[in-house]
Homo-oligomer: A and B are copies of this chain.
Amino acid sequence: MADNKVMQSTLGALLESKKYSAIKDVLITMNPTDIAEVLSEVDETQLPRLFRLLPKEDAAEVFVEMDPDQQELLINAFSAKELHEVIDELYIDDAADLVDEMPANVVKRILAAADPQMRREINEILKYPENSAGAVMTTEYIAFRPDMTIKEAIDKIKRVGTDSETIYTCYVTDDKKRLLGFVTAKQLLLAKDDSEKISSLLDEQVISVTTDTDQEDVAQMISKYNFLAIPVVDKENRLVGIVTYDDAMEIIEEETTEDIEIMAGMSPSDANVTYLKTPVFDIFKHRIPWLSFLMLSATFTGIIITIFENKLAACVALTAFIPMLMDTGGNSGTQSSVTVIRALSLNELEVSDIVSVVWKEIRVAVLCGVTLSILCFFKILIIDMTLMHNDDITIIVALVVCLTMACTVLVAKTIGCVLPFVATKLGLDPAVMASPFISTMVDAASLLIYFGFASMLLFKV
């Protein structure tokens, strides 16, 4: 990116001094993704002029990589002919994304610029629910019949290959478009005898998804099986599209960012806009709901403390340990919940594993709780009692704190590992059960345990 900043000012200067052929020579050496990055910072008035200098074969690729606001600007600046040239070069899934993101008047221009066939395919994709395999697939795949020869298949690739999203995995269907299997370009290229039938190469161990499979599951399957593409079929097992590995990588990145944001108590941000380009008010809107909810839910801890206020007044030393107990509880619970959430999203765990997970977490909690209690006991003995000469803190106080510590860790880890399963079972994203939410529950639990032990051991008479 640092290089791209230099490139931006260079191109700006060349444009100022109208050195168009120099600009062309520079652009031709660059990768489309980098060109889009450079163009992302240029002036609104310069953008269409610079875009027109791009080599024709790169224009559509650069266009796809640009921010939505710049795409809109360009579409509005294009003549009908220019727009047609760009739209015509887009892959169907990218065109459908574009139509999905642009305002209505721009969509009208895009659809007018598309061929009837393309328009039909875009509408086909748009009818599927958001985040489903149908909505992210492309309809530009290569399909063979089983009785074609290898030579005929290669000839078909030569004919239609330029317009296909991938030529490396090709699908084999029957006369009703039902998916029979796949062949790879590698098999075709390596075949000794090209007069043999496609059916002789056909791999029938074909793994497919249906149009309503969640995009995250589609991406995880592509990653798990190391596929270049996965076929998407309808309810009658008819091939309707494919999802390719590059889309899978993007989906995984988006879904992970979403999970991380939810785990940190935020609503998911728009995947198409980077942090620096998101307006302050939008960031505020993503953050304030959880902050408000969690603040208000702290009313419970407030009430618990108020109830025990008189006892606290009698032994103020207890107050000093509240933050430590609450934080340790929160941290312990977060560790468990985040571990389970991640394992669920990588499909390493499923809901039926809950018993083994809880049993494992309880054993870990006992180990952690005992270790922390012992450590805490010596900490109180050495720091609070010996070094700081705090006479309010007696061995009994230390005992109350350490017992609370061990129990809080156990409760926190149990809550932490159970809640993500509960969320999954309820059809919610398990990530909502992470860190901030658990802290609030664990805070209340740890205070109740604390005052419980204090009542038993300190205030019993």
Contact = CB atoms under 8 A, between A and B. Distances in A.
Given A305-B323, A309-B320, A435-B435, A31 B207 contact: yes
Interface in A352-376: 352-353, 356-357, 360, 363-364, 367-368, 371-372, 375-376
B257 A189 contact: no
A434 to B, nearest CB: 8
Give the number of copies in the complex: 2
Question: 6 shortest A-B CB distances, which residue pairs?
Answer: A298-B324, A264-B338, A226-B246, A301-B323, A305-B320, A284-B367
Nearest to A379: B296
A430 interface: no
A455 interface: no
A445 interface: no
Interface of A: 1-2, 29-31, 33, 154, 157-158, 161-162, 167-168, 185-186, 189-190, 204-205, 207, 222-226, 228, 245-246, 248-250, 252-253, 256-257, 260-261, 263-266, 274-276, 280-281, 283-284, 287-288, 290-292, 294-296, 298-299, 301-303, 305-306, 309, 312-313, 316-317, 319-324, 326-328, 330-332, 334-335, 338-340, 342-343, 346-350, 352-353, 356-357, 360, 363-364, 367-368, 371-372, 375-376, 379, 383-384, 388, 390, 392, 405, 409, 435-436, 439-440, 443, 447
A454 to B, nearest CB: 14
Given A31-B225, A283-B339, A284-B367, 18 more contacts: A1-B347, A29-B204, A30-B205, A33-B225, A167-B189, A265-B334, A280-B367, A288-B368, A302-B323, A305-B322, A306-B320, A306-B390, A309-B320, A312-B316, A312-B319, A313-B316, A323-B447, A435-B435
Nearest to A321: B302
B371 A339 contact: no
A291 B416 CA distance: 15
Nearest to A280: B363
A303 to B, nearest CB: 7
Nearest to A188: B189
A190 B435 contact: no
A363 to B, nearest CB: 5
- In this complex, the member of A1, A288, A319 whose beta carbon has the largest number of chain B beta carbons within 10 angstroms is A319
Contacts of A260: 260, 263, 338, 342
Given A287-B335, A306-B388, A296 B368 contact: no
Given A161-B190, A225-B31, A319-B319, A295 B328 contact: yes
B343 A275 contact: yes
- In this complex, the member of A2, A280, A295 whose beta carbon has the largest number of chain B beta carbons within 10 angstroms is A295
Nearest to A257: B342
Contacts of A390: 306
Given A281-B367, A334-B436, A1 B350 contact: yes
Contacts of A443: 323, 327
Contacts of A257: 342, 346
A72 to B, nearest CB: 21
Nearest to A266: B335
A224 B298 CA distance: 42
A372 B292 CA distance: 6
Given A265-B331, A265-B334, A384-B302, A292 B186 contact: no
